[in-house]
């Protein structure tokens, strides 16, 4: 069964929000455009809506699919987030349902961790990989995420209280970032619910520990297994995953390209959307397949 909204979702020409029943359950996604497919995976505690400006840009030449990750937004699965695998399985199931056999994949933060795991598990389905301040690359992470991995404490760190939401927002962006107001409203809306907060806490505990990433979520030693073109975008002022995460990445993954943004925090595609979307479009269109 498929449910869908009217076209021009988020005022993007031809975009629509759909919810499909897959082999693992309900998955919601935004889709727009036609051409070679690209999959956009959002970060922790947000939704596909945060990709709005990127969808608008890429949909001019590509078929864009931006799902709500398992346990986020309108997708199901919040009770299964004790490990990362269900998030990867949900992406696989969505691609199967939509008939997407091979696609470029772009992942931000938690979505980057999922993107790496998906690329490792399904090497024949990923044509290019773009990682944006992604989890899974390094061992260093914010104290906020490490605290959130602790039972009980995590309930306080990721509660839907206004003060906590504002604190998280301050750590995500590099002040004074000029962030689109509609994106901020979407972020606050997704964070200000107990359901989303619970999904966030479970996702953090599945990938982080008090001293850093969980062993199964430290994927730097396996990046050499990815043979398709890989690019990494990173904000040098990222407070959640510091840029030092990238130490050793070129040795682990020789074909990787790295692009650093000097005055940007954890969310480049929100803080500098025009530059980010131009660079991403160039990578998708011009790099070898």
44-to-51, 136, 203 alpha-carbon distances in Å: 13, 13, 8
Residues 32-50 as b/e (b if ≥16 CB within 10 A, e otherwise) read bbeebbbbbbbbbbbbbbb
pLDDT at res. 22: 93
User: What residues in the chain have per-residue pLDDT under 70?
Assistant: 1-6, 78-83, 139-218, 287-289
pLDDT at res. 252: 85
CB distance 69 to 90 below 8 Å? yes
Exposed/middle/buried for 227, CB within 10 Å: 0-12, 13-18, 19+? exposed
CB distance 188 to 165 below 8 Å? yes
pLDDT at res. 3: 63
pLDDT at res. 139: 63
Exposed/middle/buried for 75, CB within 10 Å: 0-12, 13-18, 19+? buried
* Residue 23 tokens, joined: 């082999």
pTM, entire model = 0.82
pLDDT at res. 79: 57
CB distance 42 to 30 below 8 Å? no
* Residue 257 tokens, joined: 């390209």
pLDDT at res. 201: 58
pLDDT at res. 57: 97
30-to-5, 74, 154, 156 alpha-carbon distances in Å: 10, 11, 30, 31
pLDDT at res. 148: 55
């Amino acid at each position: 069964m498929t449910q869908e909204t009217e076209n021009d979702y988020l005022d993007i020409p031809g975009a629509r929000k759909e919810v499909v029943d897959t082999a693992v359950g309900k998955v919601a996604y935004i889709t727009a455009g036609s051409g070679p497919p690209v999959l956009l995976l959002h970060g922790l505690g947000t939704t596909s809506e945060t990709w709005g400006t990127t969808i608008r840009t890429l949909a001019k030449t590509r078929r864009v699919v931006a799902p709500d990750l398992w346990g986020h937004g309108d997708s199901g699965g919040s009770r299964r987030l004790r490990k990362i695998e269900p998030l990867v399985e949900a992406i696989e199931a969505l691609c199967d349902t939509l008939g997407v056999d091979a696609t470029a994949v772009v992942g931000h933060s938690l979505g980057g961790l999922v993107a790496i795991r998906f690329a490792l598990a399904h090497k024949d389905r990923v044509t290019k990989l773009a990682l944006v301040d992604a989890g899974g690359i390094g061992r260093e992470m914010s104290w906020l995420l490490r605290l959130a991995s602790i039972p009980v404490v995590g309930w306080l760190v990721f509660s839907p209280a206004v003060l906590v939401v504002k604190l998280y927002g301050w750590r995500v962006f590099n002040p004074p970032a000029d962030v689109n107001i509609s994106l901020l409203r979407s972020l606050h809306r997704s964070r200000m619910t107990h359901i989303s907060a619970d999904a966030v806490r479970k996702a953090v505990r599945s990938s982080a520990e008090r001293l850093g990433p969980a062993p199964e979520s430290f994927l730097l030693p396996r990046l050499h297994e990815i043979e398709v073109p890989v690019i990494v975008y990173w904000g040098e002022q990222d407070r959640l995953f510091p840029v030092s995460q990238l130490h050793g990445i070129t040795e682990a993954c020789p074909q990787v390209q790295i692009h650093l943004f000097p005055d940007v925090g954890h969310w480049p595609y929100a803080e500098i959307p025009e530059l980010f979307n131009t660079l991403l479009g160039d990578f998708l269109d011009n790099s070898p397949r």
